[in-house]
């Protein structure tokens, strides 16, 4: 049941409406409202790599610097606001290719910080990393949890060594 619930969250598209005002195409002095709707689907591997790259560029040392929260907020918004908007745009387009600058600019202009936090929570929920990690583990032939002794079970996690099962069942190529 729990697995089915998680799968439903991952597969259900999530609609995001961005509302704003833009110039009228003929009467340039008038503003007309617009609504742009996006669907957040489960993220592809290309989107996962692009989002991971953008997240890793954000320096976590900002939070340990002991600065006032208001100064920290302004500095993060100045240095990483565009990266956050790009992460949302990648979630909307769901491709490894860079999103269009017009989309990133629209997100910067019309999405509030509260909406941004909501969209990020959905994007994080849409990232199904278990399949990705399982693929890497099966390719490398490693065991995620290596038991060394039943008394200290779980003390060694992700050792990177080939598991006993995979080394005994798979021979090296060219041996008979």
Co-location of 18 and 79 in the same domain: yes
Domain total of the chain? 2
pLDDT tier for residue 105 given thresholds of 50, 70 and 90? very high
Q: Mind listing the pLDDT tens digit for each residue in 119-133?
A: 888 888 777 677 777
Co-location of 32 and 115 in the same domain: yes
Assess if residue 23 is contained within a domain.
Answer: yes
Co-location of 11 and 32 in the same domain: yes
Assess if residue 172 is contained within a domain.
Answer: no
Closest CA to 79 of 90, 92, 100, 65: 65
Assess if residue 175 is contained within a domain.
Answer: no
Q: What angle do CA 122, 128, 132 make, to 5 degrees?
A: 150
pTM over 0.75: no
Co-location of 17 and 74 in the same domain: yes
Q: Residue 113's domain spans which residues?
A: 2-127
Look at residue 157 and tell me whether its pLDDT is greater than 80: no
Q: Mind listing the pLDDT tens digit for each residue in 29-58?
A: 777 788 888 888 888 888 888 888 888 887
pLDDT tier for residue 24 given thresholds of 50, 70 and 90? low
Co-location of 74 and 6 in the same domain: yes
């Amino acid at each position: 049941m729990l697995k089915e619930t998680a799968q439903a969250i991952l597969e259900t598209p999530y609609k995001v409406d961005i509302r704003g005002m833009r110039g009228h195409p003929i009467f340039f002095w008038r503003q007309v409202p617009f609504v742009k709707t996006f669907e957040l689907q489960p993220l592809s591997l290309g989107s996962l790599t692009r989002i991971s790259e953008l997240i890793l560029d954000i320096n976590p040392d900002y939070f340990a610097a002991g600065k006032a929260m208001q100064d920290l907020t302004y500095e993060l918004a100045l240095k990483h606001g565009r990266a956050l908007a790009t992460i949302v745009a990648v979630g909307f387009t769901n491709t490894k290719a860079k999103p269009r600058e017009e989309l990133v600019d629209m997100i910067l202009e019309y999405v509030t910080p509260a909406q941004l936090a909501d969209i990020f929570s959905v994007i994080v929920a849409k990232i199904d990393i278990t399949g990705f990690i399982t693929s890497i583990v099966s390719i490398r032939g490693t065991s995620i949890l290596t038991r060394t002794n039943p008394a200290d079970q779980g003390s060694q996690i992700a050792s990177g060594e080939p598991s006993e099962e995979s080394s005994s069942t798979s021979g090296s190529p060219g041996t008979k």
